[in-house]
Amino acid sequence: MKHLIKLLDNLTSIIVYGIIFMVILQYAEPLMSGRQIIGYSLILGFFAGLINNIERVMRELFKKED
């Protein structure tokens, strides 16, 4: 059950980052098609979510050592 909650937390962060990038891309490049905006935002959201997860793991590792 704990793994499922962690998976849902990770997926939620990727989706939130994707939505943020979608809004930013829409304002930055209004001539892009909808497919391009969605594709780029999902890719950028995935990488931003990965960076966030790596940062969270590093924080937990150093917190346990104290």
- Asked whether 50 and 15 are in contact (CB, 8 A), the reply is no
C-alpha–C-alpha distance, residues 49 and 60, integer Å: 16
Query: Span 22-49, mean pLDDT?
Result: 88
- Output the six-digit token pair for 37: 């905006």
Residue 64: CB atoms within 10 Å: 7
pTM of the model: 0.71
Give the model's confidence band at 59: pLDDT under 50 very low, under 70 low, under 90 confident, else very high.
confident
Domains contained in the chain, number: 1
Please name the amino acid found at residue 30.
P
Output the pLDDT for position 66: 52
Q: 41 is in which domain, residue-wise?
A: 2-65
